Amino acid sequence: MQRIVLWAMSTLTVVVLLLGYRTSLSGPMATAGAPSPYSASAPATAASSDTGSGSGSGSGQARTAQSGAGSGTGSTDVTGSTVSTRYGPVQVQLTVAQGTITGAQVLQYPSGDPRSAQISSYALPTLVQETVDQQSAQIDMVSGATYTSTGYEQSLQSALDQAGL
């Protein structure tokens, strides 16, 4: 567990760096509400980066939670201690499963207005199996290569737009 926490803290530094780059430079601390389940995928590269930006004390506290993915193997949530950055305090929670960081959630981030915080919030993409009925996919919008208005006529996005008109 000690190793995992250390690993978590080194990753925390990376997360802090990302936050520092994106978030507001000023404003009082704001605490996010219930963390979104669709948090940024963890930068799981065990960073050896020595940035000096984060100053984590390393006193992360861990609790074990059963993974909701039904994999049968437990995952552990590691809550990092609050880290002071020049942008304000940051606290993240990492989900560790079988020694691999599978998720990161920001519990607290520096921002005057949580609405303005530029924290990415998305899950890992899931590849769609060929056997799945593509047309019935419950999707809102399609990201595709640059397409012309001509190519659009045959695209799935076109069908989606028509469905809503």
Partner 1 sequence: MRTVSTADPATWRSVAHVMGMPVSVALRGRHAGSPTGTEAWHEVVALLESVDRDYSPYRADSWVSRVDRGEATLGEGPAGLREVVALGEAARRDSDGAFDVWRADQDGRRCFDPSGVVKGWAAQRASLMLTWLPETDVCLSVGGDLVCRTADPTGTPWQVGIEHPLHPARVVARVPVVRGGVATSGLSHRGGHVVDARTGQVPVGIASVTVLADDVVTADIDATAALALGAAGPAWLRRRGRTAVVVRSDGSAEVVAA
State the DSSP code for 2.
H
- The window from 28-36, 70-78, 81-89, 91-99 that contacts partner 1 (CB under 8 A) reads 28-36
Handedness of CA 24, 27, 32, 33 (dihedral sign): negative
Residue 152 has a CB neighbour count (10 Å cut-off) of: 13
Q: Which of 14, 60, 89, 131 forms a contact with partner 1 (CB under 8 A)? A: 14
Q: State the minimum distance, in angstroms, from the CB of residue 86 to partner 1.
A: 19
- Paired tokens of 103: 């998720």
Under the binding rule (CB under 8 A), the answer on residue 164 touching partner 1 is yes
Distance CA 155, CA 81 (A): 48
Distance CA 56, CA 160 (A): 47
Under the binding rule (CB under 8 A), the answer on residue 123 touching partner 1 is yes
Q: State the minimum distance, in angstroms, from the CB of residue 163 to partner 1.
A: 5
- The window from 53-61, 66-74, 77-85, 128-136 that contacts partner 1 (CB under 8 A) reads 128-136
- The window from 50-58, 70-78, 88-96, 138-146 that contacts partner 1 (CB under 8 A) reads 138-146
Counting Cβ atoms within 10 Å, is residue 106 exposed (0-12), middle (13-18) or buried (19+)? buried
Residues that bind partner 1 (CB under 8 A): 14, 18, 22, 32-36, 38, 40-45, 114-115, 117-128, 133-149, 151-152, 154-161, 163-165
